[in-house]
Amino acid sequence: MDSFDSQYFEINKRVLTICGLWPYQSKLGKRITFAMLASNTFLFNFTLIAGILTHSPGEFVNTAETLVGLFFCSTGLLKCAILYNQQNKVHVNLRHLSDFTQSATDLKKLTDNSERGILRSFLLEGRRQNFLTMVYGVSAFIVCSCVEFLPRIFNEESEYHRPHSFPYYYRSMVIHEKFYDLQVAVHGTVIMLYSGLTYMSAIATYISSVKHVCALYEIARYRLQNAIIYDKHNYPLQELTDDTSTIPKLIKVINMHKRALRVTKKIEKVFSADFFVMEASCLIALASGIFELNYFRGNVRAIIRPLLVMPIVTIYLFFVNQSGQQVIQACNDIHTTAYNNDWYKASARVRIFVFMIMQRTLKPENLTAGSILILSIENFATILRAAWSFGTIMLTTLKHSPSRNEDA
C-alpha cells in the first residue's frame, strides 16, 4: 500500500491489525490474533460470571455494573466474530475504499482537480473523526481504570471493600491474595481496552467507507451540475450547446452514481448486523450510565467512571448515525440538483438521461442496523431518549424496591 493510501487509512490498518481483521494480514496472523482475543475474553467473562455467583446476593449496583462489563466484552467479541466471518466482504470493501488511492495510476482516473479535492476532503474528514474517536476512547479507558483501581492497589485496607467494589471477580482465579487488586486492574483494563478496540475497528472502517461513498455521490452531483451548459444570451430560447458533448457527461454521472450505489450496498451487507449489536450495546451502556449518575449523585469518585465512559459511547453512536445521515443527504442532493438544473429547457435526448437520473435518485439510499433501524440523526436522538427513559425507570424501581424500603 503506497504512501497516499496510508495517509488516509493508517488508523484503520493499525486497529484492524490488532483485532486480526486487516485484509492484508496473513491467514495465520489473523487466526492467532482472533484466538488470543477470544480466549482472553472468554476467560475474563468466566471470572465475572463466577464472581457474581460467589458474591450472590451482592449489591444491586455492583452486580449491574459487572453485568454491563460482561455484556460489553461479549458484544465486542461478537462484533469481531461477525467481521471475522465476513472478512472476504471486508476485503472487497477495503479495496473499494482505496480504489482511487492505491496507486498514482488510479488517482489519475480523476482528471478534474475539483473532483480530486472533493475526494480528498471527504477522506480527510473521515480520518479526523477516526483520530478523535481513537484518542478520546483509549485515553478515557485508561483514565477510568486509573481512577477506579489505583486507590485500591495502594490502599492496604482495600480487601475489606472488595465485596462492595466493581467488578465482582472470582477469587479462585487470583494468583496471590496480595496482588488481588493489581490482577483485577490489569486483567480488566486489558480486556476492556481490547473489546473497545473491536468497536473502534468496526467504526473506523465504517466511517472511512461512508466518507468514500459520499465522495462518489458528491462527485456525481458535481458532474451533473456542470453537465448542462446554456447560452444565457439566447433567453428565452436557451438551448444546449451540443447534445453530443452533454450526453456523455450525463452517462458519466449515471456510472458514478451506479458505482456509489454498489459500494453503499456492500457497506450495508458488511456492517448491518454488526451495528445492530453496537446500537443495542450503546443503549444499555447509556441507560446504565444515566442510572449511575443519578444514583451516586454527590459521590464524585463514583460518578467519574460513567462521566468518562458515556461520552465515548455517545461519540460512537453519533458518528455511526451521522454517517448514515450523510449518505441519505448525499442521495437527496443529487436528486435536488437534477430537478433544479433547468432540465425542461434541454433537448428531448438530454431530458431522457436527466429523467433517468431523477428516477434513480427519487428514493434515497440509507444504511441500517440489522435492517431494523435506519442510521440517521433521528435514530441517534431516539436512542438517547430511550436510554434516558430506561435509566430513569431503573432508578425509580430501585428506590421503590421492598429491600430498600425495609432498610430505610
Give the per-residue pLDDT at 164.
65
Give the per-residue pLDDT at 232.
44
Asked whether the predicted pLDDT for residue 378 surpasses 90, the reply is yes
The residues, ordered by sequence, that sit 6+ positions from 134 with a Cβ below 8 Å of its Cβ are 11, 15, 200, 204
Residue 362, all three cell numbers: 427519487
Does the CA dihedral 394-190-320-84 come out positive or negative? negative
Other CB atoms within 10 Å distance of the CB of residue 320: 25
Of the two residues 368 and 242, the one the predictor is more confident about is 368
pLDDT band at 104 (very low <50, low <70, confident <90, very high): very low
In 143-190, beta strands by DSSP E: none
Give the per-residue pLDDT at 166.
73
Does the CA dihedral 89-90-93-99 come out positive or negative? negative
Of the two residues 355 and 162, the one the predictor is more confident about is 355
Report cis status (omega within 30 of 0) of the bond before 23: no
Query: What average pLDDT score do residues 237-245 get?
Result: 55
Asked whether the predicted pLDDT for residue 160 surpasses 90, the reply is no
- Which helix (H) or strand (E) segment holds residue 144: the answer is helix 113-153
Asked whether the predicted pLDDT for residue 56 surpasses 80, the reply is no
Residue 170, all three cell numbers: 472470582
| Domain range summary for the chain, segments of one domain joined by + | 3-407
Query: What average pLDDT score do residues 102-107 get?
Result: 38
> Which residue do the cell numbers 492505491 mark?
102
The H-assigned helical ranges of 172-242 are 180-225
Q: Provide, rounded to the nearest whole percent, the portion of the chain with pLDDT above 90.
A: 7
The phi and psi torsions of 401 (rounded to 5 degrees) equal -70, 150
Query: What average pLDDT score do residues 186-206 get?
Result: 83
Query: What average pLDDT score do residues 98-115 get?
Result: 53
CB 119 within 8 A of CB 219: yes
Give the per-residue pLDDT at 383.
94
The residue count of the chain comes to 408
Give the per-residue pLDDT at 229.
59
Asked whether the predicted pLDDT for residue 402 surpasses 70, the reply is no
Average pLDDT, the chain: 78
Of the two residues 400 and 129, the one the predictor is more confident about is 129
Residue 188, all three cell numbers: 480488566
- State pTM to two decimals: 0.79
- Exposed, middle or buried by CB within 10 Å (0-12, 13-18, 19+), for 59? middle
Other CB atoms within 10 Å distance of the CB of residue 17: 16
Q: How far apart, in Å, are the Cα atoms of 341 and each of 237, 250, 336, 338, 352?
A: 16, 12, 9, 5, 14
pLDDT band at 158 (very low <50, low <70, confident <90, very high): low
Give the per-residue pLDDT at 12.
74
Of the two residues 199 and 402, the one the predictor is more confident about is 199
| Residue 374 bridge partners (DSSP) | 368
- Which helix (H) or strand (E) segment holds residue 369: the answer is strand 368-369
* Cα gap 344→340, rounded to integer Å: 10
Give the per-residue pLDDT at 51.
84
Q: What is the DSSP code (8-state) at residue 25?
A: S
pLDDT digits (tens, 9 = 90+) for 271-328: 888 888 888 888 988 998 888 888 888 777 778 878 888 888 898 899 999 999 999 9
* Nearest CA-CA partner of 134 in 23, 11, 22: 11
Of the two residues 93 and 392, the one the predictor is more confident about is 392
Put residue 298 in one of left, alpha, beta given phi > 0 → left and psi -120 to 50 → alpha.
Answer: left
CB 71 within 8 A of CB 191: no
Contacts 24+ apart (CB under 8 A), 27-36: 30/84, 30/87, 34/80, 34/84
Query: What average pLDDT score do residues 325-347 get?
Result: 84
